Structure 1
Amino acid sequence: MKLYVIADDLTGANATSVLLAKEGFKCSTFIDSKLLNGDNMSKYDIVAISTDSRGITKEDAYKKVMEEVNRVKNLNPIYAKRIDSTLRGNIGSEIDAILDNDEDSIAIVVASYPDSGRISIGGFLLVNSVPLQKTLVARDPKCPVRNSNVNEIIESQTKYRVGKIEINDVLRGEDFLSRKINLLVDEGNRIIVIDAVTNDDIDIIAQASNMTNLNIIPVDPGPFTKSFMNEKYGASVVEQGKKVFFAIGSVSKTTIGQIEYLVANKGPALIKVDSLKLINDEEIDYEIERVTNIISEKLIEDKSNVIGISTTTREDEVLDLKELSKGLNLDEEAISVKINIGLAKITEKALEISKSSIGALYTSGGDVTMEVMKKLGVKGIDIKDEVIPLAVYGRFIGGKYPNMPAITKGGLIGDQKTLSLCIDYLLTKVSTQYYVK
């Protein structure tokens, strides 16, 4: 194992893995790092895991990341901290956990993902040219982000000194930039945030980072980690159904728009699940049975090769978790977990009753993806390809449906056509290319 990627959710782990897989690295994502053993870690160049720590306390997030650093410390890998492309979660405390437990390490943060419309300039993260705090992420029900300044976000969460390098210094080239990084480290900074507007900028940062001879921890949504590893190990070369079931747990405006487009253009068998009943211990079994019966009917009717479940199809149906939390005497995280577990149980039953007529699975939202993987006994995902940035295609490792094709995607990713594009990808099974080092 060359690199250990520590992500705070499963779709993020997959997103970084697929970028590296396309560069020729043999990659895998494991939903539970306790499943790792010597064979797993020797079989893959890159192992990515999720700590599932985005929505928990900073103290608990620190402990989870610390455990992962120490889990593989004897192998002396490079560590990478995968962060959300919209800076949600416990970024500072999770970086601290790596720096505290990896001697003499320096974290270089590149928040940009140009192919997904995320760029950092003047220290500010823009999403499709809009400041981060003006986007939908500011209203995220679990992890709202109300600041667009990358440095300020991290400084408010870390105990370490944070240096910054703006785009004008990046544009001066890798030689100058490597000296600048070393200077900031000499001044006592263990975290350095660097602007990037293009993929070429990210490549320059990777080149400069490797020139410093420092113990670098890449911290980013994926592109910088990819470029950093390519600098170390060289570039790659390229060599040359059934029904799709989708389970959507995200309640973002983006996802709702994608469902509307899918319904209008592909006529899927879409079954809406009552979230309130999934939360209620007395009603959850009845709701699961109700939805499962409808799925069975749709499979028998066989009018569509696309079938799936979602808790919402309109913005006005989105639950107010804060208000629900007060009324049910449950915290928001516990409510979210109950809903996602319910969706995972329905997915499991759908695959069972389909008698193999469902051949591929799509999940949207990191939390529901994790619960589905657990319910199906999946050990990990053999990463194959990237449909669009942050929408990852692979095949299940182990579990009840080994080698099943699957796409996982974060809830805030893509435009209105993205869900349809992913479904088409699974239906046609076009993942025929592979990459080798």
Structure 2
Amino acid sequence: MAKFLIIADDFTGANDTGVKLTEEGMPVNVFFSAINIVPHTSCVIDTETRNDSEKTAYEKTKTILNSIDMNQFDFVYKKVDSTLRGNIVTELRAINDRFAPDYVVFAPALPALGRQVINKKVLVSGKELRKTEFACDPVKPVLQDNVETILAQSFGVNSVQYYSLKDLRSNKDLDLSKKCFGFDTENDEDFCKIVSLFQGLKGKILWVGSSGLIEGMVKKSSVAIPAIALVGSVSSKTRKQILYAKENGLAIIALPIYEIYKTENYSEYVDQAVRILKKGRNLALVSSASLKRADLIKTKTSFNEAGIVGTEMENTIQMILAGICRRVIKEFPVSGLFVTGGTTAQSILRIVKAQGTVIREEVALGMPLLTVVGGEFDGINMISKAGAFGDSSLIMFGLNKLRSLGKKAEISWNYKKA
């Protein structure tokens, strides 16, 4: 199993990064010094230098690393705060002096918490970092929010190649004459694109980021089976959750139920869904009425014209959604099913002839993890959530939880010199 050395500057950062490995079945220990490192396992070193002076942070970081054989690890990762607090420049210099990486990858964004990097600058909920409260921290105010500038201050102006979103998404080639690479990052899928650029590259790499980048490394490198969400609720809260998930890279197929009912044909949507799942991506099957008010009106009008109203209309819509989901999962077994809306959950269980469910645990408030009993989906993991409930991240959270329960493979790629 691959070994990670994660270098964090505070305890919470050490844990929220290390947990990304444990979620993939990799044992991780957190230490405050190098003397306790357990051989043959991944570990996180907490240097506790977040609020130190630059000189102290450099000396403490280098002293700790001097007692570690860094070449015994497959991956060396510098955890930084997603709002760039701390002594990032001096600690990068300390790690560079000890580890001497051939390349440095810097992507500090954490889209799940609204921290993005756009046009080289860190944004917090769309606002430039230096214009937020983080810039006024009484102990360690943030003085720089430009990712390219931080790399230049750490390693020199001529050592940096910077990728805009356009560069990243068009797969612009790496300039291997450069040592440092910085990246705009808008959503979680962008991390996977970053990782793809460096897969198979010879040489030692220092990865630098928040917990977002390391999650992208693990996702890109594992074969965890994707999960699927079935969303039938049309509440405004559900709409926000879908849009949030879409902004963070979740693949979404909007199903125009009013058209599908008329044509009795949904094979194109099943084929599209299977193609997405085969790429290892989580997916949400969503009634188009959940996304667009206009489609909600079209759906009601279409069914009313056919003489279908009230409860009969609701049940028909949910059975169409459930039928499509059933076909998809029959063609591509998934790690689990996330269902939003009580009627939607009942419909999918009924259509697969389930006898019931076993409650395993509550993964979040109001979100039980279940195991389906009997029928075509016997044994599948399922998370249910009421439609008009929860914060914007719950669909993403639920899918990632289900994915983490699926089968995984050992991370097999590394960057050590041949």
State the TM-score, normalized to the length of structure 1: 0.49
Q: Which has the higher contact order (CA 8 A, sep 6+)?
A: 1
How large is the Cα RMSD of the aligned pairs? Answer: 3.2
Larger Rg: 2
Counterpart CA distance in 2 for 1:386 and 1:213 is: 40
**Percentage of pairs with the same residue:** 26
8 Å CA contact retained: 1:24, 1:237: no
User: 1:234 is matched with which residue: 216, 222, 228?
Assistant: 222
Alignment of 1:23-422 (within 5 A): 23-30=24-31, 32-37=32-37, 40-42=38-40, 44=41, 46-73=42-69, 76-77=72-73, 78-158=75-155, 161-173=159-171, 176=172, 179-180=173-174, 183=175, 185-186=176-177, 189-231=178-220, 233-236=221-224
8 Å CA contact retained: 1:55, 1:142: yes
Deviations 1:34-85 (A, max 9, x none): 4514xx232x3x2112101111122222222223333332652121000011
Counterpart CA distance in 2 for 1:151 and 1:121 is: 11
8 Å CA contact retained: 1:99, 1:107: no
Q: Does 1:15 align with 2:35?
A: no
Name the SS of the counterpart of 2:217 in structure 1: helix
CA deviation after TM superposition for structure 1 residue 15, in Å: 0.9
TM-aligned CA distance change 1:386 to 1:172, over 3 Å:
farther
State which drifts further: 213-222 or 130-139.
213-222
8 Å CA contact retained: 1:24, 1:236: no
CA deviation after TM superposition for structure 1 residue 229, in Å: 4.0
State the TM-score, normalized to the length of structure 2: 0.51
CA deviation after TM superposition for structure 1 residue 150, in Å: 1.9
CA deviation after TM superposition for structure 1 residue 24, in Å: 2.5
Counterpart CA distance in 1 for 2:66 and 2:110 is: 29
Q: Does 1:3 align with 2:4?
A: yes
Counterpart CA distance in 1 for 2:62 and 2:146 is: 26
Counterpart CA distance in 2 for 1:82 and 1:155 is: 18
2:289 aligned residue: none
Name the SS of the counterpart of 1:87 in structure 2: coil
Counterpart CA distance in 2 for 1:2 and 1:36 is: 16
Structure 2: unaligned runs, 5 residues or longer: 227-361, 366-389, 395-400, 410-418
8 Å CA contact retained: 1:6, 1:68: no
Name the SS of the counterpart of 2:39 in structure 1: helix
8 Å CA contact retained: 2:89, 2:154: yes
| One-letter code aligned to 1:84 | D
Deviations 1:177-208 (A, max 9, x none): xx22xx1x41xx32221111111111000111
Number of equivalences? 238
Counterpart CA distance in 1 for 2:23 and 2:112 is: 15
Structure 1: unaligned runs, 5 residues or longer: 239-384, 389-416, 422-429
Counterpart CA distance in 1 for 2:364 and 2:98 is: 35
8 Å CA contact retained: 1:113, 1:119: yes
| One-letter code aligned to 1:105 | D
CA deviation after TM superposition for structure 1 residue 141, in Å: 1.1
Deviations 1:126-158 (A, max 9, x none): 011111011110111111114332222443455
Deviations 1:200-230 (A, max 9, x none): 1110001112243332211000221232244
TM-aligned CA distance change 1:162 to 1:63, over 3 Å:
farther
